[in-house]
Amino acid sequence: MTEPRRPGPDHVELRRAALRIALRISAACGALVLCLLAVATVYLFSKSGGPGPDAAEPGSVFVSLDTRDLIRDMIVVGLVGVVLAGVIGWFSARSSIRPLSDALARQRRFVQDASHEMRTPLAILDARVQLAQRTSPADSGTGQALAQIRQDTAALTELVDGLLEAATGGEVTPDAEPVDVGALTAEVVKSAAQLAESRQVSVDCATQGGGFARIRAQSLRRALLALLENALAHTPDGGRVTVTVGRERDMVTVSVADTGSGISDVDRQRIFERFVHSSSDSAGTGRRGYGIGLALVQEIATQAGGRAELVRTGSDGTVMRLVLPAAKHGRAQP
């Protein structure tokens, strides 16, 4: 005997959307009924002041109507019409969003399956790296490279676990302990510097205050990588990318500056929108757009109570900044 299928988060949200649509239809019908009642009432009262039966010609036929009863009946009929309109709107909305519900269910299943399947090869990769570390001194170049690979594997595993958690409808809770923004930024910059070596682009990191922030470590890592990838994509060979961690009152900031030619063919107010593309390849890197990386940075910052912003852009480069609320004393506050 199979267990009854539980409604997923998408199904519940779509049912709420259908209910909102039905309520809006009912409200619109109610307003229309009220207007009709008002017009009918004014019309009846305007006609009630005419000549009475005594003043009419002999043989005339008169029909007597109780105005109060008539208005009451009209109100009842109007309310019934509103209820029927709401019911019709409810069923119409549910039938119209059913294809959307099926599409969301397929998307969620795909993310679940893909995330689950990726966990096994990542675990195998981590095990092989550990075996290789046993035969390589930790202070050697090979040992340091293997340690970095293991850190990257752990970050990717955490990302896959986050995707699986989000796909199953679980709430993503923040880390119990706030994140050291300076330390994590230095780690991400170290990884990005290795990617930039082939193009002779230098990536430097400086700390001018910094501190702890209330944000998931993996989310902050994704945001920093997206900012660095964007900066590297628009920095010509031999250029420089500088990352600075600072503090402004109760906010921790991370600024990413590059030596590219700046943003000139994209509206500055839209660079954090998804799939915003530039029409030129000013840096000569073969990339012609900003994709969804900066949009993800904005979403991550907003979820953490902060923001992402464009500080300046011009012929001498672009500076983008991630601003996050600071956590006091480096530990979670009640």
pLDDT at 167 over 70: no
- In angstroms, the Cα distances linking 311 to 172, 256, 321 are 30, 10, 7
Residue 281 or residue 111, greater confidence? 111
Q: Compute the radius of gyration of the chain from its Cα atoms.
A: 32
Residues 184 and 180: their CA atoms lie apart, in Å, by: 6
Residue 215 sits in a domain of what CATH number?
A: 3.30.565.10
Kind and range of the H or E run holding 124: helix 67-134
Instruction: Examine the domain organization and report whether 154 and 189 are in the same domain.
Output: no
Q: Say whether both 300 and 194 belong to one domain.
A: yes
Which one of 81-85, 109-113, 266-270, 308-312 scores highest in mean pLDDT?
A: 308-312
92-99: list long-range contacts, CB under 8 Å, 24+ apart: 92/21, 93/17, 93/18, 93/19, 93/21, 93/22, 94/15, 94/18, 97/14, 97/17, 97/18
CA–CA dist 175, 41 (Å, integer)? 63
- Report yes or no on 237 lying in a domain: yes
Q: State which of 172, 198, 215 marks the end of a domain.
A: 172
Express each pLDDT in 59-88 by its tens digit. Answer: 555 555 566 766 677 777 777 777 777 777
Give the whole-angstrom CA distance, residue 242 versus residue 19.
Answer: 51
Domain co-membership, 12 together with 141: yes
Q: What percent of the chain has pLDDT over 70?
A: 75
Per-residue model confidence (pLDDT) at position 7? 55
d(CA 307, CA 297): 9
Q: Are residues 254 and 321 in the same domain?
A: yes
Q: Is residue 228 part of a domain?
A: yes
Pick the last residue of a domain from 144, 172, 200. 172
**pLDDT band, very low/low/confident/very high, at 110 (cuts 50, 70, 90):** confident
Does any domain span residue 59?
no
Q: Which of 24-33, 153-162, 273-282, 295-304 has the highest mean pLDDT?
A: 295-304
The answer to whether the beta carbons of residues 164 and 110 sit under 8 Å apart is no
**Residue 180 vs residue 61, higher pLDDT:** 180
Any domain includes 108: yes
For residue 3, is it within any domain? no
In a domain, 1, yes or no: no
Which domain range does residue 96 map to? 8-45+66-172
User: Is 283 among the domain residues?
Assistant: yes
Q: Tell me: do 150 and 14 sit in the same domain.
A: yes
70 lies in the same domain as 123: yes
Quick one: which of 312, 315, 276, 313 has its CA closest to 294? 276
What residue ranges in the chain does DSSP mark as E strands?
A: 179-180, 202-208, 212-213, 240-248, 251-258, 307-314, 317-327
Distance, CA of 235 to CA of 166 (rounded, Å)? 34
**Rounded-to-integer distance, Cα 44 and Cα 70, Å:** 10
Which is more confident, 207 or 99?
207
Domain co-membership, 98 together with 196: no
Asked whether residue 166 falls in the same domain as residue 263, the answer is: no
pLDDT confidence tier of residue 2, bands split at 50, 70 and 90: very low
Q: How many domains does the chain have?
A: 2
Rounded average pLDDT over 113-132: 82
Phi and psi at 87, nearest 5°, equal -65, -45
Position 254 pLDDT exceeds 60: yes
What value does the mean pLDDT of the chain take?
Answer: 76
Which tokens go with 11? 């199904």
**Highest averaged pLDDT of the listed ranges 31-35, 54-58, 162-166:** 31-35
Identify the domain boundary among 153, 172, 191: 172
Please say if the pLDDT value at position 209 is more than 60: yes
3 state DSSP class of 215:
coil
